Amino acid sequence: MQSKIYPIVDRNGANYSIHKISLKEVYSLANFFSELSSSTIKLFHPHPFDITFLKKILKDGKDLRVILRNSNNKIIGYAFLSKVLLNPGIGYFGIVISEQFQGRGLGELFTRALMEIGKAEMCNKIILNVYNDNLRAKKLYVKLGFKKIRINFFLKYAIIITELIKSEDLQGLVSKIFNKFDRQVKEDRKSIWMMKKMRI
Ligand SMILES: CC(C)(COP(=O)(O)OP(=O)(O)OC[C@H]1O[C@@H](n2cnc3c(N)ncnc32)[C@H](O)[C@@H]1OP(=O)(O)O)[C@@H](O)C(=O)NCCC(=O)NCCS
C-alpha cells in the first residue's frame, strides 16, 4: 500500500512530495546518498549508507524515515526521527537535502512536515545534534523553535547506544545479552546466589 503523500511547493513554485520510505525504494535511497557531495556528507553522517544497513533499518520499520522527491520523481532529500532507547516520546532527528536543492526553503518545509508526522505518530520531543559551524542548519532549527540544551548524560548515551545497536553485530550481541538476562531471571526463581568474603 502506498503511504500518504504530502505535497510541498518551494519558493520558486516548483512541486515536490514527501512520503515515508519503503523497503522497495532502498536502491534509490542508496543512490541518493552516493550522489551527495563530500561537503554535505561531512555535515550529515548519522548512519552508514550501504545497502545492507539501509535494508536493515527500513525492514525494521521502527523509526520514521521520509524522503523528498522532486517533480521528476528523483529523491532529493531524506530525513528521519529515530526512537531513543529508554526514552519513549523522544525522536532523534536528522535531515539532508541534495546540494543543488539547498537554500530554496525545502529544508524548512521538509522538517515541518516530518515534525507533524512525528507528533501524530511517535514523539512529543525532538532532539538533534548539529555542528557549531553549520550556520544554515542552525538558522533553520532556531527558526523552527529549537533551543540549545545541556543534554544529560543518560539521554546522550541512550541516543548513542540506540544508533549503535542498529549495526548488525551489535544488535546480535545486545539481543543475546537480553536473552541471557531473561533466562537468568527464570533461573533465579529456582536457584539462589551465594557469596563468601575471603580473608587475605
Ligand atoms: C541543513 C539543510 C537540511 C537545510 O535545508 P535547506 O533547504 O538548505 O534550508 P532552507 O532553504 O529551508 O533554509 C533554511 C534557513 O537557512 C538560511 N540559510 C540558507 N543558506 C544559508 C547560509 N549559507 N548560511 C546561513 N543561513 C543560510 C535560509 O536563509 C533559511 O532561513 P530563511 O528562510 O529565514 O531565509 C540543508 O542545507 C542540508 O542538507 N545541509 C547539509 C546536511 C546538514 O547540514 N544536515 C543537518 C545536520 S544537523
Q: How far is the CA of 135 from the centre of ligand 1 (A)?
A: 8
Q: What pLDDT does residue 196 have?
A: 60
Say if 197 falls within a structural domain: no
State the CATH number of the domain containing residue 183. 3.40.630.30
Residue nearest to ligand 1 atom 44, measured at CA: 43
Q: What pLDDT does residue 165 have?
A: 80
Say if 173 falls within a structural domain: yes
Say if 163 falls within a structural domain: yes
Say if 200 falls within a structural domain: no
Say if 195 falls within a structural domain: no
**Domains: count for the chain:** 1
How many C-alpha atoms does 82 have within 13 Å on its Cβ side? 24
Pocket lining: 11 vs ligand 1, CB cutoff 6 Å: no
Say if 198 falls within a structural domain: no
Give per-residue pLDDT as tens, 38-52.
999 999 989 989 999
Does residue 1 surpass a pLDDT of 60?
no
What is the span of the domain harbouring residue 23? 5-189
Q: How far is the CA of 133 from the centre of ligand 1 (A)?
A: 12
pTM of the model: 0.86
| Confidence class for position 197, pLDDT limits 50, 70, 90 | low
Query: Which pairs count as long-range contacts for 131-139, CB under 8 Å and 24+ apart, including other chains?
Result: 131/43, 134/43, 136/102, 136/103, 136/107, 137/43, 137/95, 137/107
Give per-residue pLDDT as tens, 65-79.
999 999 999 999 999
Q: How far is the CA of 82 from the centre of ligand 1 (A)?
A: 21
Q: What pLDDT does residue 147 have?
A: 92
Pocket lining: 77 vs ligand 1, CB cutoff 6 Å: no
Percent of the chain whose pLDDT exceeds 70: 92
Say if 194 falls within a structural domain: no
**What average pLDDT is seen over the chain?**
89
Pocket lining: 140 vs ligand 1, CB cutoff 6 Å: yes
Task: Tell me what the mean pLDDT of segment 88-96 comes to.
Answer: 93
Say if 175 falls within a structural domain: yes
